[in-house]
Structures are given as C-alpha cells and as structure tokens.
A = this chain, B = another copy of it.
Amino acid sequence: MEILNKKIRECGKAEKNGILKVDSFLNHQIDVALINELGKEFYRLFGNCGVTKILTVEASGIGVACITAQYFSVPVLFAKKNKPKSIADGVYAASVNSFTQATNYDITVSKNYLSKNDKVLIIDDFLAKGSALMGLISLIHEAGGAVVGAGVVIEKTFQSGGELIRSKGVRVEALAKIKSMTENSIEFED
C-alpha cells in the first residue's frame, strides 16, 4: 500500500536488531488519519467474508482494530497480556513469545466474547515471527470459531512468521511487506 510504504520510508527507523521503529505513527503516537486509510483497505480485502468480530492483542493492535472495526460494523475484542482481577475466571488462554520485547507472556480472552458462531478477523500491527498471531488463532480455535484471516499493517517477510501462518491455511494480508532492512535503507516487496 503506497501511502503506508511512503510513511515507513519517511518516518520508520530500522534498528540493528531487526526491529523497525514506527512509534511516530503506529505504536506509540498514532496517526489516526493514516490508520483510517488502512482500515478502509482491510475492509476492501475482507469485507465480503462475513466477519462477526475483530480480534487483536493489547496494546498496539487496539487502535488499528478499532478504526478498522468501524468499516465492518462489528465489535473489537482485545486479548489481554495479563489476567487482571476484573476479568472473569472463564478465559481462553495461549502462550506468546514477543520478538520485540524478548519475553514470553500469556494472552487471554473471556469465554463470554468468543464463540463457535464467530467468524473472526485478526488485526495486528506487526508480523515478525508470528507468535502473537499463532496465539490469537489458537484462542479462536479453542472457542470453536472460524478464522477469516489476519490483517497486519507491516509484515517483515525476511522473518518466518508469514510463512508459518500461511502454512496453516490462514489467509494473511499485509499492507506493507518489508523484505530487508539495514540501518539506512528499508526495502519493500513489490
């Protein structure tokens, strides 16, 4: 998506450790007008799939998921990284390894909000090694729901996540695909 590639070229910063810093518009400060264009594009891609719910994971997926959900007229459900006191005991849970933060954590969603009748679109900001997406897919399967697909803002195709998720038969659509990064250049897939 050219508008997104342009923004990444202008404001993104490739760091030494394979991390792409886009905190000026995506995962710290949020350029809501840009995200609106991304939401529209996700709707163009998945709008005819009968989506009943959008699932993401806190924190940086929530903004994109909420803006996108306006086009689908469905609720957003965000998986929690810890199980706070204010969530009921009845949860679906999965384990996730974070590439960016180099930690493991559990994600949970309440059983009240995910069911076998749901057709779920997963939305997230990044696809790197795919652990968060695998966790979210697992939550949907545990609930007996259907995975419509996964819409991610940025896929780093030089990492293994996209291949992993697609090999499970899940449709993945990335709005920007980065095939390589060095400190001074970011190369996109055509």
Contact = CB atoms under 8 A, between A and B. Distances in A.
Interface stretch (A25-33, A136-144, A170-178): A25-33
B102 A78 contact: no
Interface in A1-46: 15, 17, 19, 21, 23-25, 27-33, 35-36
Q: Which of A29, A76, A87 has most chain B Cβ within 10 Å?
A: A29
A84 B101 contact: yes
A63 B32 CA distance: 11
B30 A78 contact: yes
Contact of A62 (B15, B33, B59): B59
B63 A30 contact: no
Given A59-B78, A63-B76, A113 B28 contact: yes
Interface stretch (A64-72, A145-153, A156-164): A64-72
18 contacts: A17-B85, A21-B88, A23-B110, A23-B113, A24-B113, A27-B86, A29-B110, A30-B75, A32-B66, A33-B73, A35-B66, A58-B58, A59-B78, A63-B63, A66-B66, A66-B67, A84-B101, A85-B100
